[in-house]
Structure 1
Amino acid sequence: MNNKMAIKEETEKALYKVKQMVSSHPVVMFSKTYCSFCSGMKDLLSELGAAKEVIELDKQSDGAVVQNALLEWTDQRTVPNVFIAGKHVGGCDAMVEKHRKGELFTTLKETGALGTTPAQPTCGETSDTPSKLQPA
């Protein structure tokens, strides 16, 4: 088997693994431990009470291959890369925009992606984002 075929096979295996993870958890976020946007997104999801599964790609032996599989599936290689109820939402910008519009909490609630004790946003709070995600 040549190298190109081996890479394709690795990517296909990783894609299968990714799709299994995404379909098995209410919220899945592919992340890297050193990414400040990922940290902000983890904080936001926690504040909203989301039951999330975070996969730290820089801690996975196949993290680079998984990241390539995500690119193939979603056209997004960057992190954070977030899925809610099996659907690709996007990265930091898409998530912050959904939150700014008040749609993120609603989506999490409607899809059953909230933990047992969600932090209910109060009036006007949905437009706030963690300070790490505030535009400069």
Structure 2
Amino acid sequence: MAARTKAQGIIDDNAVAVFSKSYCPYCKATKSLLSEMGAKAYIIELDQVDDGAAIQDALQEMTNQRSVPNIFIAKKHIGGNSDLQAKKSELPSLLKNASAI
């Protein structure tokens, strides 16, 4: 339950939240795209925090997505890297509306 509370807090407190793993190539692609767009993203590397596995379990309960990256913009679940890349054209307005740039 603590992991779910922590995950929800990260989502609620940040215009862009990315649940990532440091070695994941899809996560790197997501972080690169958000960086190119000038997004102020909160990124948590689940493989580098003690409760990462618990947070990943909580995210699966919340979103039905276990894989990383798990991306939220303006508290809305975007999905993974392929979902984010598919939204590339609307990303500037999504980020602007979320006050993330």
TM-score greater than 0.5 by the shorter chain: yes
Q: Which residue of 2 aligns with 1:67?
A: 56
SS in 2 for 1:28: strand
Q: Quote the offset at 1:23 in angstroms.
A: 0.5
Among 24, 27, 30, the alignment partner of 1:38 is 27
SS in 1 for 2:72: strand
SS in 2 for 1:66: helix
Among 74, 83, 87, the alignment partner of 1:98 is 87
1:33-54 Cα offsets, whole Å, 9 max, x none, are: 0000101110100000001000
Calculate the aligned-residue CA RMSD, in Å. 0.6
Distance 1:91 1:108 in 2: 16
Q: Quote the offset at 1:104 in angstroms.
A: 1.1
Distance 1:67 1:110 in 2: 27
Aligned positions of 1:46-65 closer than 5 A: 46-65=35-54
TM-score scaled to structure 2, two decimals? Answer: 0.97
TM-score scaled to structure 1, two decimals? Answer: 0.73
1:87-113 Cα offsets, whole Å, 9 max, x none, are: 1111011101001xx111110012211
Amino acid at match of 2:96: K
Among 66, 76, 86, the alignment partner of 1:77 is 66
Matched, 1:107 2:89: no
Amino acid at match of 2:68: V
Distance 2:98 2:21 in 1: 25
SS in 1 for 2:22: coil
| Runs of 5+ consecutive residues of structure 2 not aligned to the other structure | none
Bigger relative CO (Cα 8 Å, ≥ 6 apart): 2
1:50-84 Cα offsets, whole Å, 9 max, x none, are: 01000000001011110000000000010000001
The number of aligned residues is 101
Distance 1:108 1:64 in 2: 28
